[in-house]
Chain A
Amino acid sequence: MAILQRLLAHKLAWIGLGIILCVTIAAIFAPLIAPHDPFQVDLLKKLQSPGGAFPLGTDHLGRCILSRLIYGARISLSIAVAAMTLGVTLGLLAGMVAGYVGGKLDALIMRLCDVLLAFPQLILSLAIVGILGAGAFNIVIALSIAQWAWYARIMRSKVLWVKESNFVKAAIVSGTRSFPLMLKHVLPHAISEIIVLASLDLGVTILQISGLSFLGLGIQPPTPEWGAMINDGREFFRSEPGIMFYPGMMIFMTVLAFNLVGDALRDALDPRSSQRVKMEDLESKLQHQV
């Protein structure tokens, strides 16, 4: 409860939560909110200025930009959440096994993590998507391959730490078998930090998805993905900067919101950490820079 209170004391976190809520609602109720069909091409109405039936105007194919932005929230959020879930789950499992079993398996998994973390993340995802081919499913695979190692490392160190604690020793002495022990005692202790990191990463994952789509390697047109929309608007941005401006604004606001909440969450979980120099954290932010 104290954590929640500390979290809510952050004004910026409120702003972030508000934005996330709006984007999520837009994503879920897109068909109800969007004024037009985002795929409806009408060349007679192309490149219209904002106003009238099209609050943000139309793009080069006469599609309603606002509707495409609203549907875009669906794409960005769902792919980001899917990639995070897969990456984090893989990382948790690998880290738990490595930390708990130890020995050769531990060494193997950790060396694999070392190697994966030696690649600049964006370049690794780029290469994987490039080889698998573009598309939502492949992006999820690429991002989670590039991400799981980070979580595996954190999880392993948590497991090692918890393993040494007295309550786990007590549980072992009292005959708890290893698997229930992990689920019941180790996981809850490790999960809070992981959730915080994951929520911070959700923002940068959205950034990466849109970056890949912008390069033409992610979500393909005509799907209304924000990064792909910016790429679409490139040719017209001299005369119609709006086509590019609004999707970029959406990415920026959404990522900003996730970062604000993530920062506040971290402070709430560990109030002492806010003043310390968080090198590893900065490093991870840097890794994700798109």
Chain B
Amino acid sequence: MQHYIVRRILQLIPVLLGISLITFLLIQLMPSDPAIVVLRVNQVPVTEAAIAAMRERLGLNRPLPIQYFDWLWHVLHLDFGNSYVTGEPVLQEVLHYAPVTLKLTCFTAILILLIALPAGILAALYKNSMFDQMSRMFAYTGTAIPSFWLGFLLIYLFSLKLKLFPVMGSGTLAHFVLPAITLAWGPAAICTRLLRSSMLDSLSQNYVLYARARGVFERMVIGQHVFKNALLPVVTFFGLSFAHLLSGAVIVENVFALPGVGRFMVKAILSRDYPVIQCFVCLSAFLFVSVNLIVDLVYGYLDPRIRLGGVNESAH
């Protein structure tokens, strides 16, 4: 197992370097000179001299590789530069907004489990029943509904008409209910279907037949044999969706005016605050990769075949 962990972490290093390189190069796509952008944002008159001075200050006159390594060196020390707008260190700003996003993500994750676990099990046990058909419809709507629209529908129905929840803001727990439902809708639908099909898969296994033949109570069969084995893909999905919720949060936070990282990111884009964009993109990719690693390790722990290298490699 230790061997496997070390190998997976070593494999990660080139990917992380690649992420940093792409994040760095992303800024080079910019059609205008960053020096001019900084001057404009700070409302300094754009003159030749000012541009030259700013280029010197931002270190833009150095060759690209040197700029990259310099940037990387700072990033490794958790220094993503200063915001063009506020002049504050970017990472601190992002972390300032993180708690709201984290709260939203956690609520959503809990909600996904609360919906998907019972719904997936029932849909599998009563296959092709009315409930199963409904869960199928739920899955189709879940993957097709635009979350920004769903968010407004929920606000309209529950906040304006029924007056059950506050409309916008982030003060109390009640403020997070509608955003969490909005964000959970899609993943919960997918997760339900996933659990259903993996339950059906394990229901058809021989060990279930054997357990039934031994006369084990049906409830025991389902709980002990079927559900446990069916949970594995769900765990993976859940781990991955946690990272994905972060990108979903960008839109949902904007709908509900939640002061989280996603809303901050969109603001930064609109005000062309490039260091913030860079930091956010880099961190989200990093988070995504780490979650992937954890999911892989958990899988490796649960399934020795992967750990020993056979299955994983041949699958690709």
Contacts and interface: CB of A to CB of B under 8 A. Distances in A.
B240 interface: yes
Contacts of A119: 19, 22, 281, 284-285, 288
Contacts of B250: 122-123, 126, 215
A70 B237 CA distance: 38
B270 A216 contact: yes
Contacts of B241: 286
Contact of A215 (B143, B201, B240, B251): B251
A251 interface: yes
Contacts of B143: 204, 255, 259, 285, 289
Interface residues of A, number: 57
B148 A114 contact: no
Interface in B163-220: 186-187, 190, 194, 197-198, 200-201
A282 B241 CA distance: 10
Given A115-B22, A275-B197, A252 B149 contact: yes
Interface string B117-148: 00000000000000000000000110111111
Interface string A114-147: 1110111111101111111100000000000000
Given A115-B15, A118-B19, A283-B240, A259 B197 contact: no
Contacts of A227: 146, 148
Given A118-B285, A244-B152, A279-B233, A286 B18 contact: no
B247 A121 contact: yes
Contacts of B266: 126, 215-217
A244 to B, nearest CB: 6
Contacts of B14: 111
Interface string A209-251: 0110011110000000001001000100110010011011001
Nearest to A129: B269
Contacts of B270: 216-217
Interface string B3-25: 00000000000110011011000
A170 interface: no
Interface in A82-134: 111-112, 114-116, 118-124, 126-133
A290 interface: yes
Contacts of A282: 190, 194, 237
A161 to B, nearest CB: 12
B269 A286 contact: no
Contacts of B269: 126-127, 129-130, 217
Contact of A276 (B141, B197, B251): B197
A32 interface: no
A150 B254 CA distance: 28
A211 B19 contact: no
B63 interface: no
A130 B160 CA distance: 33
A1 interface: no
A197 interface: no
B226 interface: no
A237 B153 CA distance: 10
B284 A241 contact: no
B109 interface: no
B258 interface: no
Contacts of B201: 275-277
Contacts of A120: 243-244, 246-247, 284-285, 288
A211 to B, nearest CB: 6
B265 interface: yes
A49 interface: no
Contacts of B160: 238
Given A120-B285, A126-B269, A256-B141, A214 B148 contact: yes
A255 B144 contact: yes
A159 interface: no
A127 B284 CA distance: 12
A243 to B, nearest CB: 10
A217 B251 CA distance: 12
Contacts of B285: 118-120, 123
A118 B289 CA distance: 6
B300 to A, nearest CB: 16
B188 to A, nearest CB: 11
Given A214-B251, A283-B237, 11 more contacts: A118-B288, A126-B269, A128-B29, A204-B143, A211-B148, A215-B250, A244-B152, A255-B145, A276-B197, A286-B187, A290-B248
6 contacts: A118-B19, A214-B146, A244-B152, A252-B145, A289-B143, A290-B251
- Name the 5 nearest CB pairs between A and B, nearest first: A248-B149, A115-B18, A130-B269, A256-B144, A255-B144
Interface of B: 14-15, 18-19, 21-22, 26-27, 29-31, 140-141, 143-149, 152-153, 156, 160, 186-187, 190, 194, 197-198, 200-201, 233, 236-237, 240-241, 243-244, 246-248, 250-251, 254, 265-266, 268-270, 272, 274, 277, 280-281, 284-285, 288-289, 292, 316
